[in-house]
Amino acid sequence: MEGYQEYEQEIDLKDLVFHVLYRWRSVMLVALLTGILSAGYAFWYNSAVFPEKRAGIEGELEEQLQLQKLFNQAGQIQGEEGNQEQAAEITKAQEKGLTAENVGKQIEELREQLEGLKELSPVKYFVLGFAAALFGMAFCHGTGYAFSDKLRREQELREKYGYHILGVFPRGGRKRFLGCIDRLLDRLEGNRACSSEEEIHRIISVGMMNLAKGGGTFLVTGTVGQERLQRLVDHLVQNLGEDMALIPGADMNVTADTLEALAVCDGVVLVEERGRSLRRQIHREHESIAAFGKTVVGYVVL
């Protein structure tokens, strides 16, 4: 288990990058939605908040300008009998500690605020929201990859246990939107063009016959569902010789019948699913197979 724990901590940078790139649909979708929401906020601010804020500053500036005008005319107002109201306003302002100098400073500050008050650019906010969501989603997927216990690559079992790869089925068999991007990523990652499922079944069968030349009974098991194991077995037996028999068995970690079949079989073929099978469960399978003294002919990755 110590070696397994050390292996768990190894993270390949290239695999991490492609793990994120293969999830470009969710990354782009969230980034676009965030960008649209950010642009929508800019439109709302420009139509609802900005006019009200500008009007408030302009009103306060107008009041300060009127007060400054009164301070500038203070001597003349006090000497005239008909300007008692303006004189009262000046007295009231002075009681609050306001002076012509203080009013002048407030006017300058308000003018600076008015000059600095600008409408938000929807395009700029869209770009900022898009970029922030892009990096955020990439970070989330990268963190999930680093802490995930799921089978990441088809080569992992060969690198860890020395098992032979019998066959690898392509990622996602169904057609997806802009699937050409996924095919481009496959080429960049170094994956070859996908063969048909029928051809992959033949490749697996030929590999099994070459690795188990003496024939016998072989247990086909793994952490995938029983139905998928049965379908795989049904396809493989069509290409195998009469001296080879296959027994599908559900996950041996939770199924006693599979352990009974393991005890009487001549070899084991593991079937695991990339991105779903947990490595700790695969390691438990490895320990059980070793405890029964059986040989793993190879493994298949779905």
pLDDT tens digits for 224-281?
A: 888 889 999 999 988 888 888 899 999 998 889 899 999 999 899 999 998 888 889 9
| Band of residue 8 on the pLDDT scale cut at 50, 70, 90 | very low
Residue 78 confidence (pLDDT) above 70: no
| Mean of pLDDT over the chain | 81
- In this structure, the number of other CB atoms found within 10 A of the CB of residue 15 comes to 16
Residue 218 confidence (pLDDT) above 70: yes
Beta bridge partners of 246: 218
Residue 63 confidence (pLDDT) above 60: yes
| Band of residue 4 on the pLDDT scale cut at 50, 70, 90 | very low
pLDDT at residue 9, rounded to an integer = 45
| Band of residue 82 on the pLDDT scale cut at 50, 70, 90 | very low
Residue 297 confidence (pLDDT) above 70: yes
pLDDT at residue 102, rounded to an integer = 78
Chain segment 183-198, per-residue pLDDT in tens: 777 677 666 655 678 8
- Of residues 301 and 148, the one with the higher pLDDT is 301
pLDDT at residue 2, rounded to an integer = 40
pTM of the model: 0.65
Edge to edge, what strands does the sheet with 244-249 contain? 165-168, 296-301, 267-272, 216-222, 244-249
The angle, 0 to 180 degrees and rounded to 10, between the axes of the packed helices 226-236 and 197-211 is 80
244-249 and 267-272 strand pairing: unpaired
pLDDT at residue 270, rounded to an integer = 92
Q: Average pLDDT of 28-57? A: 91
Least confident range of 77-86, 128-137, 211-220, 290-299:
77-86
| Band of residue 5 on the pLDDT scale cut at 50, 70, 90 | very low
Residue 3 confidence (pLDDT) above 90: no
pLDDT at residue 284, rounded to an integer = 92
Residue % of the chain over a pLDDT of 90: 26
Q: Average pLDDT of 11-24? A: 77
pLDDT at residue 107, rounded to an integer = 82
